[in-house]
Amino acid sequence: MTLPFVKMHANGDDFVVIDLRGKTHSITSEFVRRIGDRHRGIGFNQLAVMFDCDDAAARIMFWNPDGSPLATCGSASRGVADLLMREAGTASVVLRSGRGLLSCVRDSAQRISIDMGKPLFAWSDIPLAVPADTQALPLPGGPIACSMGNPHCTFLVDDVTMVDVAALGARIETDPLFPDGTNVHFVQVIDRNRIRLRIWERGGGIPAGSGSCCCGAAVNGMRRGLLNPTVDVQCDGGTVNVQWNGNDGVILTGPVEPVFHGTIASRYLNR
């Protein structure tokens, strides 16, 4: 037996979608690691799996390529929404993830918008290992932290091209302050409506982009009073838009694109 999949990307932030609605397959960390290998598998920044759901079009779960689960993924959620809208012939869909019910719509430019839910700011919500001011963490550079269902740590810098993202990102990801690890952002504010962002992704390294990281970085910049409620976020792979009114959910808008359809060989399912 083989298992179909779709490979997609959002401004180069690539992910794989597997549809397990009506199926009985289970997903293991070992399986995720095998197909996440860019040389011996498919390769992706995240895996998104659709399951049956009573109160939404699908329930989605996410994994990093190292096999670790995560509660949210803005790029892959928009990819799933795109697939389900095309399947149903609609311009909107509701998904369920670890963040609850997510409303998604397609705009006239064919971009997908998703309500990523409210950001969380309490130290225990990030989570941090000890109580701390999440607007100025006790780390060199005084970064800002929030949770979008996964942890985000944002450094404001003068020039992102001067940052050793791999070295600093890997060090901060595993700092004892973050018991569950963290995504790490390096943000250069261009003006109040635009930022340049480079990312170290927890469990994944340096991606071309990340939906949840774009949200976390923009929200943290807004909390510092540096940004307006609507911000264009320029990542290595392209630009998305983030909106947050300070109270409700964060709206992420950007393109998604299918790359190819395929099937996972049975030997990968049974090993």
| pLDDT tens, position by position, 175-187 | 999 999 999 999 9
Is the pLDDT assigned to residue 270 strictly greater than 70?
no
Is the pLDDT assigned to residue 23 strictly greater than 70?
yes
d(CA 66, CA 83): 25
Residue holding tokens 């998703």? 114
Q: Calculate mean pLDDT across residues 232-260.
A: 97
Confidence of residue 268 (pLDDT cuts 50, 70, 90): confident
> 253 — phi, psi (to 5°)?
-130, 130
Biggest distance spanned by C-alpha atoms of the chain? 54
Q: What confidence tens digit (pLDDT) does each residue in 188-243 have? A: 999 999 999 999 999 889 999 999 999 999 999 999 999 999 999 999 999 999 99
The segment with the largest mean pLDDT, out of 37-41, 78-82, 203-207, is: 78-82
- pTM beyond 0.85: the answer is yes
> 172 — phi, psi (to 5°)?
-70, -40
Give the distance, in angstroms, between the CA of residue 239 and the centroid of all CA atoms in the same chain: 14
Proportion of the chain above pLDDT 90, given as a percent: 91
Q: List the structure tokens of 99.
A: 């963040």
More confident residue, 54 or 203: 54
Q: Calculate mean pLDDT across residues 63-73.
A: 92
Q: What is the pLDDT of residue 26?
A: 81
Half-sphere exposure of 117 (CA within 13 A, CB side): 23
Cβ contact 178:203 at 8 Å = no
Is the pLDDT assigned to residue 99 strictly greater than 70?
yes
Q: Where in the chain is the domain with CATH 3.10.310.10?
A: 3-115+256-270, 144-249
Question: How does the average pLDDT of the chain come out, rounded?
Answer: 95
| Domain over 144-249 is classified CATH 1.10.510.10 | no
Q: What confidence tens digit (pLDDT) does each residue in 118-176 have? A: 999 999 999 999 999 999 999 999 999 999 999 999 999 999 999 999 999 999 999 99
| Domain over 3-115+256-270 is classified CATH 3.10.310.10 | yes
Confidence of residue 1 (pLDDT cuts 50, 70, 90): low
Q: List the structure tokens of 19.
A: 């549809």
Q: What is the pLDDT of residue 271?
A: 58
